Amino acid sequence: MIWPNLQAVNVIIFTDGSARGNPGRGGYGVVLKSGVHYKEMSEGFRLTTNNRMELLAVIIGLEALKFEQLSVQVYTDSKYVCEAIEKKWLNNWLRTDFKGKKNKDLWLRYHQIAKKHIVKFHWIKGHAGHPMNERCDVLATQAADGKNLKIDQVYEQLQQAELRANSNTNTPFF
């Protein structure tokens, strides 16, 4: 839904991702702020990577917005996510169908939701005392350490396919 003059509305999204072992148990944390409105979100996964959680945090934050064409400032401590957007790496990955790149599923999901807004990324140093980054870190790590972890279906399917491919090589050990 698009409302008139919503481009003047500024939404700030703080994000962080975590993985225990990378790959391992993981989670994301998101804080959304706009005027007096404040919302926190987090979720944990049983097997994933830090980069997937960093990117998923941004996606979840953008997908939580109820209106389109909002001015959104995203603050992340992930150079992977920030530079992929700000340095236009994603555009190249889209042109080459992500040849040799990981996380295609999440990047395509990000690309679709980002088209609905005016998004600007800002990199902030992690674990440097920024209150909202620290809050997102707590949310992400608590989610990774929680119970009832979700399944990162695409990641786990890719891992299983890779294991099958490696086990089918029948390489002798002598």
Q: What is the secondary structure of 18-81 as a DSSP string? A: EEETTTEEEEEEEEEEETTEEEEEEEEEEEE-HHHHHHHHHHHHHHT-SSSS-EEEEEES-HHH
Active-site residue numbers?
A: 16-17, 54, 77, 127, 137
Is the CB of residue 55 less than 8 Å from the CB of residue 110?
yes
CA distance 142 to 26: 9
Termini Cα distance of the chain:
64
Q: Kind and range of the H or E element at 15?
A: strand 10-20
Instruction: Output the CA torsion sign for 44, 148, 61, 116.
Output: positive
Residue owning tokens 């919503």: 6
CA distance 139 to 134: 9
